[in-house]
Amino acid sequence: MENSKGEYTITFARSARKELEALDSRTVERIFSRIIALSKEPRPKGCRKLKGNRELWRIRVGDYRVIYLINDRERIVDVVVIRSRGTAYR
């Protein structure tokens, strides 16, 4: 994704991209819009830092969880997991 001044670049792990592609289009649209918003604010209201890992964060999108890494130095948000709530932390 293009990086405008002051914004973070969004990248996807291959597995996260596959998980997103497997969902129905309406769900993908909701999740993708929230992911794009991370480029402006990588720590939005309601996000949570995952315990046991300094760099992993998560946002909720309905019954789905988006787990991502934030690299403030390089201004990158790397989406690593997109899964339903029940399987997101396995």
**Residues 64, 84: contact at Cβ < 8 Å?**
yes
- C-alpha 8/C-alpha 27 separation (Å) is 23
Domains of the chain: 9-84 (3.30.2310.20)
| pLDDT confidence of residue 67 | 95
Q: Which residues contact 32 (CB under 8 A, 6 or more apart)?
A: 20
What pTM value is reported for the model? 0.86
Percent of the chain, pLDDT > 90?
79
Q: What is the pLDDT of residues 20-40, one digit of tens each?
A: 999 999 999 999 999 999 999
